[in-house]
Structure 1
Amino acid sequence: MCFCATTRDSRYVCILQSQDNFQGWMTEPLSHSARAEQLQKKSTAIQMMKHEKEAGVPSNEFGSANAVTEQKGQSTEEMREEYVYRSTGGSEETNRITSLVTDEDASRNCEIYLPVSCNPSAMELSLDSEEDMYRDAEEIEREKILLVCKMSSSEYKPSVAPEMDIMEYCRKEWRGNTPVAKRMRKGYEAVAQKFASIRRVRGDNYCALRATLFQALSQATQLPTWLQSEDFTKLPENLLSKYDWIKQWQLKQKLGRKMGEISDEIKEYLMLLRKKWKYISEIKGPIEKQEACDKLFKNEEEEYSLYEALKFLMLNTAIELYNDDKNGRRVPVFSWLLFARDTSSNPCQLMHNHLNQIGHSGGLEQVEMFLLAYALQYTIQVYRLYKYNTDEFITLYPNDPEEDWPVVTLITEDDRHYNIPVRMCQETML
């Protein structure tokens, strides 16, 4: 799997020019006068980038949340700084920039999507070399293909970065003086009262699953009861016998599977989840436990198989909640919200429009964070930094957790990307 690392330079080009114009600039032959004009534009763009670098625009090579803007009256320089989506380090299928705009009272949110090329390395090459202006489209395309092949063949990098001091990370990412940057710094300062370090998580639309599972495993001291059940591995077979539409489950971007194959493959994923959880929970030493987690999240095949298992457990939980509600049993409030959406009025739609898209074209939405918590029987505590100084700064999923559920803690800057705080106080239960 290929993970492109988007740079700050390429993002500024996307803001300065529309995607169509930019692609045409790279691939269409230019006349002498047009080349001169484009060269002048490029020179201006590079100067602006140099200016922004000197001004201290926040960067992120691995994984971070989207930039957040909250005041309509900001200057052009401030708006440009806040709309830059800092690289998540992942190759998201949509590979788009998402900025979350929040007004002053944080009562309404709206999203702004800015198109980005899915091959930032080629964009950087075009920016850094004057010769790109005068090469034909075929030559540029050949170079782009070579870059993609080179990245695909490289060694798989860990999807959870090594820890770093949380305030050092904050200073690196939020150096500006805009209201949003100040709020983020305040949020990180509050988190630093409980946690000393942070581990950045790859942003490939699996980040919520990745961060939650990593935290759960790194703190695990025993195998959860629901993982010990004898019927646990029979779950795919039992569900498929009742709901024929589950055969359309999308496994790791592989379509067209037969029902039996889907059942067998999901069963393997569930068995792997049980095996890894049991193995890591039995490790006594904290250092050895962390090393085991790090090793697991460096294994691409096993890691993504575990995410498929989590997604299927979420589907099973959704089906149980849906049936309980239809039969007049009491269900948590989030279940009503989950099935009140036009895109998920029943479990079948939830699978097609949401669960199948996780890791491919989208991540977890807020209501699905509740579903994940119920599926794992874990309380997910999230520091929502853009909600600093509000009642929603620390949010619990679910908000009325069971007393015996373990707690995992995450950090988000925008409710889309999640990182992991570590070196926390001895706190495993609420």
Structure 2
Amino acid sequence: MGYCIRFKPPSGCSIHGLGGTIAAVCERASQTQKKAGIAMQVMKHEKEAAVPCSELGSTKTATEHKEQPAEEVGEGNLYRSTGGPEGRNRIKLFNSIVTHDDVAKDCEIYLHVSDNPSAMEASVDSEDVCRDAEEGEKMQHTCKMSTSEYKLSVAPEMCILEYSRKEWKGNTPVAKRMRKGYEAVAQKFSSIRQIRGDNYCALRATLFQALSQATQLPRWMQSEDFPVLPENLLSKYDWIKQWQLKQKPSRKTGEISDEIKEYLLLLRKKWKSISDIKCPVEKQEACDALFTNEEEEYSLYEALKFLMLNTAIELYNDEKNGRRVPIFSWLLFARDTSSNPHQLMHNHLNQIGHSGGLEQVEMFLLAYTLQYTIQVYRLYKCSTDEFITFYPSDPEEDWPVVTLITEDDRHYNVPVRTH
């Protein structure tokens, strides 16, 4: 899905510098929260039909949720709307901003969500929305490579500047911007490795980079409860048995639990074995070997997706219980297709790798799940303050950092070899 930000501040209130992407909303809202003590809460709108947020344990489908009457998500005033004169699939946030004279003023932020699930994130800059013919040809070439010629999950290293000249030969504004973006990346990284362009590419690029630089097993993966996570969640939430394993039909609850447990144990085993390798060359060879083993590779993605679901459930429950949650969590559950973890699983996580990839707000969820900061060079945003985006925008200081490159917020490659 694509996102476009529209602002509608009431009289007397202004919003300065808020960008046109989910990342910008999260980052700047977080900064405002720190500087002015911003309080964001969730509430219904009196004039528009809100999509309800059903109880976590419900087994109803997304369609059934939309037909129910409006219901508060919890404390606060972030809500989803599918009606109103501005059209369907609209997310609205109220920011209560306390001014210097302690007078609270409300600002409305509208996020329009595209009906086209494959649409790229839209920006307020028309040049970002309307790409030219050259980029269309480039994207068609990428799709062709990902489905036929290009079979490697992670291609060998290539000089970044050479790759840029090869892929963007024209003199159109888009081609110039892309080359300029690659030149900026080349100030820090000398090479690039292409990531296979299927719907797993965001997971693949992030995991590859994390394993390539891993020196120890993450603390959360060392927990005794880690292997029994599927069993524990299934005992609480019956709807998890609808989890789709590699496009296979749903199995019995016990079978799903056992298979996901195998994936989690494989992830921990591979992470530990690679992190124990001290020689950088041998470590990279081990990573390369892992990403040429299709069966193991795709099992790891299933493990990551399930861990993302677990994180989403924790965030959802924290918000319902009045605990502080990251701003991206509100946006994650503000979509009419994921108003709760059940819908998130059914409409999004089950589709990753099959009919869709990670949306921008789900990049936040992935980073929060791994407890890694994901730094992304967004080349089509070159020369703007969104050129380098961090997921999450306010990470813990001790989180490791992995770096990715994207030309369109859909496909990701990885830069390697720092200067």
* TM-score (norm: length of structure 2): 0.68
Q: Deviations over 1:81-105 (max 9, x none)?
A: 23222224334xxxxxxxxxxxxxx
In the TM superposition, residue 255 of structure 1 has moved relative to its aligned partner by 1.1
The answer to whether the 8 Å contact 2:199/2:356 transfers is: yes
Hey, what does 1:367 align to over in structure 2?
361
2:398 pairs with 381, 401, 404, which one? 404
In the TM superposition, residue 157 of structure 1 has moved relative to its aligned partner by 4.4
The answer to whether the 8 Å contact 2:151/2:196 transfers is: no
Which structure 1 residue ranges, 4+ long, deviate > 3 Å from structure 2?
A: 68-72
Counterparts in 2 of 1:174-189, with a 5 A limit?
A: 174-189=168-183
Hey, what does 1:165 align to over in structure 2?
159
Identity %: 82
Hey, what does 2:38 align to over in structure 1?
none
1:377 and 2:377 matched: no
Name the aligned partner's letter for residue 317 of structure 1: T
The answer to whether the 8 Å contact 1:70/1:180 transfers is: no
1:227 and 2:221 matched: yes
The answer to whether the 8 Å contact 1:379/1:401 transfers is: yes
In the TM superposition, residue 403 of structure 1 has moved relative to its aligned partner by 0.3
The answer to whether the 8 Å contact 2:243/2:250 transfers is: no
Hey, what does 1:356 align to over in structure 2?
350
- Measured in 2, the distance between the counterparts of 1:343 and 1:213 equals 26
Q: Deviations over 1:7-27 (max 9, x none)?
A: xxxxxxxxxxxxxxxxxxxxx
Name the aligned partner's letter for residue 224 of structure 2: E
2:271 pairs with 258, 261, 277, which one? 277
Q: Secondary structure of the residue that 1:215 maps to in structure 2?
A: helix
Q: Deviations over 1:364-406 (max 9, x none)?
A: 0000000000100000000000000111000000000100000
Hey, what does 2:136 align to over in structure 1?
83
2:386 pairs with 377, 392, 400, which one? 392
In the TM superposition, residue 424 of structure 1 has moved relative to its aligned partner by 1.5
Distance 1:222 1:71, change over 3 A: closer
Counterparts in 2 of 1:28-43, with a 5 A limit?
A: none
- Measured in 2, the distance between the counterparts of 1:274 and 1:341 equals 32
1:330 pairs with 297, 321, 324, which one? 324
Q: Secondary structure of the residue that 1:176 maps to in structure 2?
A: coil
In the TM superposition, residue 214 of structure 1 has moved relative to its aligned partner by 0.2
The answer to whether the 8 Å contact 2:132/2:174 transfers is: no
Counterparts in 2 of 1:89-100, with a 5 A limit?
A: 89-91=145-147
Q: Deviations over 1:125-152 (max 9, x none)?
A: xxxxxxxxxxxxxxxxxxxxxxxxxx9x
- Measured in 2, the distance between the counterparts of 1:315 and 1:190 equals 35
- Measured in 2, the distance between the counterparts of 1:245 and 1:270 equals 20
Hey, what does 1:208 align to over in structure 2?
202
Q: Secondary structure of the residue that 1:87 maps to in structure 2?
A: helix
The answer to whether the 8 Å contact 1:379/1:406 transfers is: yes
2:190 pairs with 182, 193, 196, which one? 196
Name the aligned partner's letter for residue 146 of structure 2: G
Hey, what does 2:246 align to over in structure 1?
252
In the TM superposition, residue 408 of structure 1 has moved relative to its aligned partner by 0.1
- Measured in 1, the distance between the counterparts of 2:194 and 2:337 equals 31
Hey, what does 2:26 align to over in structure 1?
none
Name the aligned partner's letter for residue 200 of structure 1: Q
Higher helix fraction: Structure 1 or Structure 2?
1
- Measured in 2, the distance between the counterparts of 1:320 and 1:79 equals 42
Q: Secondary structure of the residue that 1:364 maps to in structure 2?
A: coil
1:301 and 2:266 matched: no
- Measured in 2, the distance between the counterparts of 1:303 and 1:171 equals 31
- Measured in 2, the distance between the counterparts of 1:358 and 1:71 equals 28
- Measured in 2, the distance between the counterparts of 1:422 and 1:246 equals 38
What are structure 1's unaligned runs of at least 5 residues? 1-64, 92-120, 122-150, 426-430
Residues paired across the two proteins, number: 294
Q: Deviations over 1:182-217 (max 9, x none)?
A: 000000000000000000000110000000000000
In the TM superposition, residue 70 of structure 1 has moved relative to its aligned partner by 5.6
Q: Deviations over 1:150-196 (max 9, x none)?
A: x9xxxx94300000000000000000000000000000000000000
- Measured in 2, the distance between the counterparts of 1:353 and 1:80 equals 32
Q: Which has the higher Rg, Structure 1 or Structure 2?
A: 1
Hey, what does 2:285 align to over in structure 1?
291
1:239 and 2:233 matched: yes
* TM-score (norm: length of structure 1): 0.66
- Measured in 1, the distance between the counterparts of 2:384 and 2:414 equals 21
Name the aligned partner's letter for residue 90 of structure 1: S
Name the aligned partner's letter for residue 397 of structure 1: Y
Name the aligned partner's letter for residue 83 of structure 1: G
- Measured in 2, the distance between the counterparts of 1:206 and 1:368 equals 13
